[in-house]
Structure 1
Amino acid sequence: MPDQDKDKELFAAICQKDQKAFEQLYRTHYRRLLVLAYQYVRNEETAEEIVNDVLLKIWMEAPRLNIAHSLRPYLSRSVVNRSLNVIRQENRLSAKFTQYQVNSGIPDSDEDEAAALEEQLLQLEKALEGLPPQCKKILLMSKFEKCKQQEIAERLNVSIKTVKNQLTIGYEKIRKAISGNVAFSIIFFIATIILGLFYEMPV
Structure 2
Amino acid sequence: MTDQDTELIEGICRKDKRSFELLYKGYYKKLYILAFQYVRQPEMAEELVNDVFLKLWNDAEQLNIRQSLSSYLSRCVINTALNTIKKENRKAFHQEKFLSGYEESEMENDEAQMLENKLIRLEKALDSLPPQCKKVIMMSKFDKCKQQEIADALNISVKTVKSHLTNGYEKIRVMLSKEQVLFFFLFLLFAVELRLLHLNIVL
Q: TM-score, normalised by structure 1?
A: 0.43
Query: Which structure is richer in relative contact order (CA contacts within 8 A, separation 6 or more)?
Result: 1
Larger radius of gyration: 2
Q: Which has the higher helix share?
A: 2
Q: TM-score, normalised by structure 2?
A: 0.43
